[in-house]
Amino acid sequence: GEAPLRHLFWKSSPRNNFQFSKMVNVPKERKTYCASSKCRNHQVHKVTQYKAGKASNFAQGKRRYDTKQMGFGGQTKPVFHKKAKTTRKVVLRLECKKCKTKKQLTLKRTKHFELGAKKADTGHQY
């Protein structure tokens, strides 16, 4: 009779009580491993936030979609409406200052993200 008691311990799972941090603040430079054949050791990298480029009109999926949409018959593919997530995964773009090689690094989900913001002084200010 152990199985029916399982619901009592649901809250204690570390996966379920995951807390989103209030604000993620990342410095504009970080020293990390550069895998390029020129470096192959830790170098200073410039950090920027990844942003998707403009979608091309000539990508195969876009051409196929436009062909399918032509003529009568309305919308042919599903349009997503059931948005449930309130956070986004942040992707950092790291560029090696020595050899200019770029790599991407995914962070955990967060609502607020800032790059190189000055830390607010806590406590009493004179």
Residue 19's pLDDT is 60
What lies within 8 Å, CB to CB, of 102 at 6+ separation is 93, 94, 95, 96
The reported pLDDT for the residue numbered 126 is: 75
pLDDT at 104: 97
Nearest CA to 88 out of 111, 69, 118, 72 is that of 111
User: How confident is the prediction along the chain (126 residues), in pLDDT tens digits per residue?
Assistant: 555 655 555 555 555 555 655 789 999 999 999 999 999 999 999 999 999 999 999 999 999 999 999 999 999 999 999 999 999 999 999 999 999 999 999 999 999 999 988 877 777 877
Where b means 16+ CB within 10 Å and e means fewer, 73-111 reads eeeeeeeeeeeeeeeeebebebebeeeebeeeeeeeeee
pLDDT for the residue 37:
95
pLDDT for the residue numbered 13: 52
